[in-house]
Chains A and B, each alone.
Chain A
């Protein structure tokens, strides 16, 4: 499983959102780190083919995503957005069930593995006992975990998380973090976009720093997260002599 991005640009209405990005993603958990509005989310959407690039290409297992059919792609890669969805009245089970949509036939009939897959993913995220609760009664953190359950139900090799911990408190951030580590052990390939340096440090193997639509630094976590890189990536105004404590 490999993702290669070649000379990728995205510039709707001649505004450069992403500018000529090339990178290879291989093993481990990968994080895109950068300021708000740096183009992380756009990059995630381009990888999962939610939007089409202006130039360049995304290759998954050396196949251009442009040439992969929507249904096939949805069995290969899933994207957990940060959108709030108006899904009041559905139960936890029903919401997780929606992840099984790619495995339905034309008339909406599920394949044989579906029920097992839904129940399994709810067990993995520890929401199985609450499967009949309405999603209205979930907290923000539980809702995020339920979104992950839906992605798990989809049974893809690659899972993209867009700002998985935005709006979450420390406890729920830890729950999400532990869950993502668990998914990694289950053999999922994970891409995360975040602006949260601490979260990135605690979870990633490899870090790409993105600033104003350009890739400015990429390396394994230990080498990437240096004081200089972070100051550069986030445009921090630091007075000389100020000490920054990392982690």
Chain B
């Protein structure tokens, strides 16, 4: 994750931040995992969670089978998926912001989110979403990739290579796809169907099963390390194109590679949990406010912060109104946005503008 010679090459305080922040967030994450396992609609306690986690070493036969089932088949996949999706969205957002030299870029800009939404909405309105657990994620994944492909092709038509044409094509395609979603929504006759669509659009993990983890985990686990390894290239890409080229970087190729990687990670994330606003755009900014703009720090640390953020968001979403749930998409923006504003104000006092 960390370049081996970072210590000698970076100035000391930032390296210090890295070795301080990574353990702090990791320990926070572990504590949250145990809390998440132990809380929810079915009341369980910490010892049940520990017995589940260490069932390989400890005899867990004393745990009530229903509680054990809840922990292992409902809560555990939810926790794992929220960690994976949180880091995937945060890293996609961070890399796209660097690649496009645009702090407002987020994974939705590729058109993936709206494409996936169209796929999901069509499947729900056709009434076949319930026939298999795989159908909804697969079709929204295909929808996301298809939208991204159209954006890619459109942006190639323009001769502008700086990425602006890409952002604009993404905006246009998203607007078009959103109109399709609206069309399906207003023409929907059944209340249950409308409710299912709106629920999916708000994003969340309440339907998560192990199957979702099996679908998303391989892609995210394979792709994430690639971002960590090549994070310095994102630094160079965030310079002007001429500067990046004179440093020997193949700008077009590397930009394309990062776009494909981010598209895959975002598509698979949106496919398994719906659209989660805020994570892809705000988590990288929060990370930058803490560790500075160097992507060798921003990429791995925003992966950690994104994971812990979604985990805690999901914990709140399913425990605050027990036994019912709030959608995670609502929670993330509700907590995240004020915290981001707080950080911005705090940061303002540290900066001397000239």
Spell out A's residues near B (CB within 8 Å). Answer: 45, 48-50, 70-71, 73-75, 77-79, 81, 83-91, 93-94, 97-99, 101-102, 104, 107-110, 114-115, 118, 131-132, 136-137, 139, 154
Contact = CB atoms under 8 A, between A and B. Distances in A.
A81 B242 contact: yes
B354 A137 contact: yes
B245 A50 contact: yes
B214 to A, nearest CB: 30
Contacts of B296: 108
A107 B353 contact: no
A103 to B, nearest CB: 9
Contacts of B292: 89-91
Contacts of A114: 9
B238 to A, nearest CB: 7
Contacts of B101: 86
Contacts of A75: 248
Given A98-B247, A102-B248, A136-B353, A87 B238 contact: yes
B interface majority secondary structure: loop
Contact of A85 (B229, B232, B239): B239
Most buried by A among B236, B243, B296: B243
A104 to B, nearest CB: 7
- Give the interface size bracket for B toward A: 35 or more
Interface in B83-135: 101
B181 to A, nearest CB: 34
Contacts of A88: 293
B3 A78 contact: no
A71 B9 contact: no
Given A98-B239, A136-B353, A50 B11 contact: no
A71 B247 CA distance: 8
B349 interface: no
B352 interface: yes
B229 A108 contact: yes
B160 interface: no
A83 to B, nearest CB: 4
Nearest to B243: A81
10 contacts: A70-B245, A78-B246, A87-B239, A91-B11, A94-B10, A98-B236, A101-B248, A107-B3, A108-B233, A131-B11
Contacts of A78: 246-247
Contacts of B5: 109-110
Contacts of B231: 108
A242 B293 CA distance: 55
A122 B176 CA distance: 51
A50 B246 contact: yes
A108 B232 contact: yes
B270 to A, nearest CB: 29
Contacts of B288: 89
